[in-house]
Structure 1
Amino acid sequence: MGKVLVFGASGQLGQCLAHVARERNVGGLEFLPEAQANILDVAGLTALFEQHQPAYVINCAAYTAVDKAEDELELARRINRDGVENLARLCGEHGTVLIQISTDFVFAGTGNQPLTETDDTAPISAYGLTKLEGEQVIATLTDRYFILRTSWLYSEFAGNFVKTMLKLGQERDELRIIWDQVGTPTYAIDLAEAILSIIESQSQAFGLYHYSNEGVTSWYDFATAIFELSGTTVRTVPIRTSEYPTKATRPAFSVMDKTKAKTQLGLAIPHWQASLKTCLARLATAVAE
């Protein structure tokens, strides 16, 4: 399999990759601390590539503060486009396969049909724009890449919607949650499993793919499922997006079609409800311990 360098190792997906690698006893992954693996530091990156000669690079590093990005466009662009460009250039020079994580935010979200990899992109936020720019720069510098667009990531690790809902459900009597944004939650452990499966299979089916869990839901229904499955008693009130204004505009419909990932990469993708049950069970076990 060769050496695999993981950038952004301390984030949610980086932690999930480390967890899955341990569970599956997968060796060869180097989880690089941000202090020595800054994707904006070209000299430092060059030294890392020379030292490790990686077969794969997994880039989990990103600017993901969606609302703050509206005021920090240039910072978001440096990380989400320029940092990716630095990695892609070095991957191209070393024959390294780049696995880049992208987002459903590259779409406007104005339709009502599952989005494919060939559908037009039209980001409506600074975050979505800079992630799309990162996607676009890769193809100009290397042809050995997998770009995986995902959505609504959650897990036992780091901060995310599931953990926030569990916390607020214990603290409040009522929660108002948006019902008119529709998409698919993705268990980051499942995404980590998919990434390692791609590497272990040594697939040469390079390109752009969509990966989220199966199924469709709204944020309101997702939260309701979290509370029901965890036995959390809290009143939930469905509200429209217009009743909860945010700096950045979110896609109203960002359900992604995963046919290409299943057929060309051979990935088996769990339903979001099954994965949510798994995550909640693991969180409950961790609390009990």
Structure 2
Amino acid sequence: MNKILVIGAGGQLGQCLKTVAERRGISEIVFPVEQEANILNQGLLNSLLEKEKPKFVINCAAYTAVDKAEDEVDLSKAVNETGAANLAKACKANGATLVHISTDFVFEGNEVKLLKEEDAANPINVYGVTKLDGENAVIDILDEHFILRTSWLYSEYANNFVKTMLKLGAERDELGIIADQVGTPTYAIDLANTIFDIIQSENKSYGLYHYSNEGVTSWFDFAKAIFDISNTAVKANPIPGSAYPTKAKRPAFSVMDKSKIKSTFNIQIPYWRDSLVECIKQLNK
């Protein structure tokens, strides 16, 4: 088995990778703490990769506070662009392949169509801009890369929409949920499985791929499904995004076409609601 190094191991996806690695019996995998794997420290990254000698590096480290990024532009850029570039350089110097996680927010999302990898990216917020710059840095520096764009990530770990809705649903009688932003939720456990599928396939079709669960929904319908599946008695009211202004603009429609990843790696992708059922089952354990 190829040795794997996970950067950003403490975050949501990092924790999911840990869980899935245990389930799949993947033992040649290292989850360094942040102090040992700070992506803003090139020297530290180089010595970490020299020491561990991984064949694959998975980069889950990212600045993901979308609204805060509008104020913390430099920090967002440092983590999402410079950090990605640093890691790509360390991989190049040590002969490792990089699996880098990106986002649907690289798209403007102003037309109703499935977004393909080759479609023009035109981000409308700082987070999206810095993630796109990170993708481009990886592409420029390192040939041996897989960039996976994903969307609406949630799981039983860390803070995410599902856990927030369950918490608010238990505390309140009714909630207003945005109904005019459409995309696809992604269960981070499914994404983790797909990352390992790609690594274990030994398929060297490097490049950019889209991955989310199957299907299409709005934040409102996603919330309704969370309440239905968890038997949470709260009234959900659909509201327009304009009724809940945020610092950062969001894409109105960002549903990604997954046919490339499915055909290249022969991957089966679960429907979003089925995965949500599984996540809520795990949260109830």
Could you tell me how far apart the structure 2 residues matched to 1:50 and 1:273 are? 42
**2:115 aligned with 1:115:** yes
Query: TM-score, structure 1 length as denominator?
Result: 0.98
* TM alignment of 1:147-226, pairs within 5 A: 147-226=147-226
Describe the SS at the equivalent of 1:280.
helix
Q: 1:184-206 deviations in whole A, cap 9, x for unaligned?
A: 00000000000011111112011
* C-alpha separation in 2, matches of 1:261 and 1:2: 21
SS of 1:45's equivalent? helix
Q: Which residue of 1 aligns with 2:47?
A: 47
Report the AA paired with residue 185 of structure 2. P
| Counterparts of 1:170 and 1:49, CA distance in 2 | 45
Q: What residue is the counterpart of 1:14 in the other structure?
A: 14
Aligned to 2:67: 67
The whole-number CA distance in structure 1 between the counterparts of 2:73 and 2:36 is 25
- Residue 36 of structure 1 corresponds to 36
Match of 1:175, SS state, is: strand
Aligned mates of 1:217, 1:259 — CA distance in 2: 19
Residue in 1 that maps onto 2:58: 58
Residue 141 of structure 2 is aligned to residue 141 of structure 1:
yes
The code of the aligned residue for 1:108 comes to E
CA shift at 1:2, angstroms? 2.3
The structural deviation recorded for 1:138 is: 0.8
Q: Distance in 2 between matches of 1:167 and 1:52?
A: 40
User: Residue 93 of structure 1: CA displacement?
Assistant: 2.1
Cα distance in 2 for partners of 1:120, 1:2 equals: 34
> Partner of 1:228 in structure 2?
228
Match of 2:250 in 1: 250
Q: What secondary structure does 1:249 align onto?
A: coil
Q: How many residues align?
A: 285
Contact 2:4 2:58 (8 Å CA) reproduced: yes
CA distance in 1, matches of 2:139, 2:167: 41
5+ residue gaps, structure 1, are none
Q: Percent identity?
A: 58
SS in 2 for 1:283: helix
2:207 alignment partner AA: G
* Alpha-carbon offset, residue 3 of structure 1: 1.6
- Residues in 1 aligned to 2:202 and 2:241: alpha-carbon distance in whole angstroms: 43
Q: Which amino acid is the alignment partner of residue 225 of structure 2? A: A
Query: Following the alignment from structure 1 to structure 2, what is the Cα–Cα distance between the partners of residues 2 and 112?
Result: 40
- Please give the secondary structure, in 2, of the residue aligned with 1:78: helix
Moved more, 172-181 or 41-50: 41-50
Q: What is the rounded CA distance, in whole Å, between the counterparts of 1:232 and 1:130 in structure 2?
A: 37
State the secondary structure of the residue aligned to 1:158: coil
What's the CA shift for 1:266?
1.3
Structure 2: stretches of 5+ with no match in the other structure: none
Measure the CA separation in 1 of the matches of 2:225 and 2:234. Answer: 12
Q: Deviations over 1:27-55 (max 9, x none)?
A: 11100100111001111111111111110
Deviations 1:39-85 (A, max 9, x none): 01111111111111110000000000000000011110000000000
CA–CA separation in structure 2 for the residues paired with 1:54 and 1:100: 15
Deviations 1:62-116 (A, max 9, x none): 0000000000111100000000000101212222100000000000000100000
SS at match of 1:139: helix
